[in-house]
Amino acid sequence: MVDIEKEYTDEHIPFGIKACNFLTKSTDPFLAVKSCSDELDAAGFVRLSKRGPFGGRLVPGKKIMH
- In this predicted structure, the answer to whether residue 2 has a pLDDT above a threshold of 70 is no
**Residue 65: count of CB within 10 angstroms of its CB:** 13
- In this predicted structure, the answer to whether residue 65 has a pLDDT above a threshold of 70 is no
The 10 Å CB-count burial string (b at 16+, else e) for 45-54 is eeeeeeeeee
Per-residue pLDDT tens over the stretch 12-46: 888 889 889 888 888 899 999 998 899 888 988 87
Higher pLDDT, 37 or 1: 37
**What are the distances in angstroms from CA 47 to CA 15, 26, 60?**
27, 21, 15
pLDDT attached to residue 30: 92
- In this predicted structure, the answer to whether residue 6 has a pLDDT above a threshold of 70 is no
